[in-house]
Amino acid sequence: MQKTPESKLVDPFGRKISYLRLSVTDRCDLRCVYCMAEEMVFLPKKELLTIEELYRVASRMIDLGVTKIRLTGGEPLVRRNIMVLFEMLGKHLGHGLEELTLTTNGTLLARYAEALVQNGVKRVNVSLDTLDPVRYHQLTRRGDIAHVLAGIDAAQKAGLKVKLNAVAMRGGFLGEVDDLIRFAHGRGMDLTVIEEMPMGYTGHDRYETFLSLGALRKSLEQRWTLVPDAHCSGGPARYVTVKETGGRLGFITPLSCDFCASCNRVRIGSTGKLYPCMGQSGMVELREAIRSSESDEKLTELILKAIDSKPKGHEFSIEKDGICGLSRHMSELGG
């Protein structure tokens, strides 16, 4: 393996930015209630970066010090020719890039699992909030859970390590989380529960559905033995091992716990906006620099400017008298 070049991506608070989450599309085949509105208006295709432009910005980030890239969306696997991007980025593995991965809703995973492995992907995160087919259909406003379960099967068969992500919400989840734990751990998968973040209008009342992970944890502790785990992903998840299953359970608590001090990541949206922090509205527009010149000079200058503007922390909160959130959807910049 070649030596990683010294990172140029260090923010004003001394945090080294080594992790890029790259949204490759704002489109999705589902409409999860916490993420998208039922009638989403997607961006005109010409506004999205092309596969070549996504590659150009990602490879520039690798040159500057990014060692891990996660493709996300929208749903990354609905993007046409997405495997071309995986193939191009996969060639950087072992040459600056240490990990290439994705977050997916899993509906198309059965089709792509083998190709992902061939392009160097070793792990995938699959979002699944319930095992009940009827509730899955309701929560995603259209999905068929059989496709996701087939995707998980295919991914594991192809040799991918799968982690499940579930958004915790009041109304149903407390009664289903035990099944999710048994399912995930029974198949050797970690499960991470995520606190709902106030991003974008989706047509459901977040104050009504917000379930703090503190409350969830208290409820879990009545039935399971949660042993604090030293495992650290470098991200906002805090882990425990469930003694009864031997499996790992993560908690992502952006609202009720501060993880910003160790943040190592930035996000680039599918139109080329670089967001130094998911929980603040600041961003730097890269698309014009990418489209107007073949030289990377301006692009590099803008990336460094964005890193230099990374704030100390997010500004999310869900209060009794209202939600302090962001008008953009999670799918716009990638979760």
**Residue 70 in marked binding region:** yes
Nearest residue to ligand SAM, scored by beta-carbon proximity: 335
CB of 197 or CB of 302, closer to ligand SF4: 197
52: CB partners within 8 A, 6+ apart: none
DSSP string, 101-151: EEEE-STTHHHHHHHHHHTT--EEEEE---S-HHHHHHHHSS--HHHHHHH
Applying CB under 6 A, does 36 fall inside the site for ligand SF4? Answer: yes
d(CA 238, CA 257): 10
Q: Which residue in the set 17, 22, 30, 128 belongs to the binding site for ligand SF4 (CB under 6 A)? A: 30
Q: Closest by alpha carbon to 66, among 264, 234, 236, 231?
A: 264
To ligand SF4, the closest distance from the beta carbon of 53 in angstroms equals: 21
**Residue 267 in marked binding region:** yes
Q: Closest by alpha carbon to 260, among 315, 196, 313, 197?
A: 313
d(CA 315, CA 206): 16
Q: Which of residues 118-147 bind ligand SF4 (CB under 6 A)?
A: 127
CB of 162 or CB of 242, closer to ligand SF4: 162
Which stretch, 24-32, 111-119, 284-292, 306-314, contacts ligand SF4 (CB under 6 A)? Answer: 24-32
Applying CB under 6 A, does 331 fall inside the site for ligand SF4? Answer: yes
CB of 101 or CB of 105, closer to ligand SF4: 105
CA angle 263, 266, 272 (to 5 degrees): 170
Applying CB under 6 A, does 166 fall inside the site for ligand SF4? Answer: no
**Residue 74 in marked binding region:** yes
Name the residues that contact ligand SF4, by CB under 6 A.
28, 30-32, 35-36, 73-75, 105, 127, 331
Specify binding-site residues for [4Fe-4S] cluster: 28, 32, 35, 260, 263, 277
